Amino acid sequence: MSAKKAWCGVAARSNLGMHGIGERGSNFTPAPPPATVSSTDRAKAITLPALTGAPAQEIARRAQKVVLAFLVDRSGSMYSAWGGDPSDVCGAAAETLLSLARRSGGGRAVIVPWGTEAPAQLVCGPHDVRRNRRALHKALREHSSLGGNDMPAALRRTDDVMPELAVDEIPLAFILTDGVEDVTPAMHEAIASLPHGCVHMVLIDRMHWCTPVMEANWRTVSFGSFSRIEHLDVSTMAHQLGIIYAHALGLSLPVVPSHRGKKY
- Kindly state whether residue 70 falls inside one of the protein's structural domains: yes
Within-domain flag for 60: yes
User: pTM score > 0.85 for this model?
Assistant: no
Residue 238 lies in a domain: yes
Q: What is the pLDDT along the chain (264 residues), one digit of tens a residue?
A: 444 444 544 444 444 443 333 333 333 334 444 444 444 578 999 999 999 999 999 999 999 999 999 999 988 888 766 667 888 999 999 999 999 999 999 999 999 999 888 989 999 999 999 999 999 999 998 777 787 889 999 999 999 988 888 888 999 999 999 888 999 999 999 998 888 889 999 998 887 888 899 999 999 999 999 999 888 899 999 999 999 999 999 999 998 755 555 554
Q: Are 96 and 233 in contact (CB under 8 A)?
A: no
In a domain, 14, yes or no: yes
- 3 state SS of 257: coil
> What does the angle CA 105 – CA 203 – CA 110 come to, to the nearest 5 degrees?
35
3-state DSSP percent of the chain in helix, strand and coil, to 5: 35, 15, 50
Tell me whether residue 149 is in a domain: yes
Name the residue range of residue 8's domain. Answer: 3-27+46-163+188-248
Instruction: Report how many domains make up the chain.
Output: 1
> What's the DSSP call for residue 69?
E
Residue 253 lies in a domain: no
Residue 264 in any domain: the answer is no
By CB atoms closer than 10 A (0-12, 13-18, 19+), residue 8 is: middle
**256 lies in a domain?**
no
The rounded Cα 28 to chain-centroid distance in angstroms is: 22
Q: What CATH number does the domain containing 206 carry?
A: 3.40.50.410
The amino acid at residue 72 is V
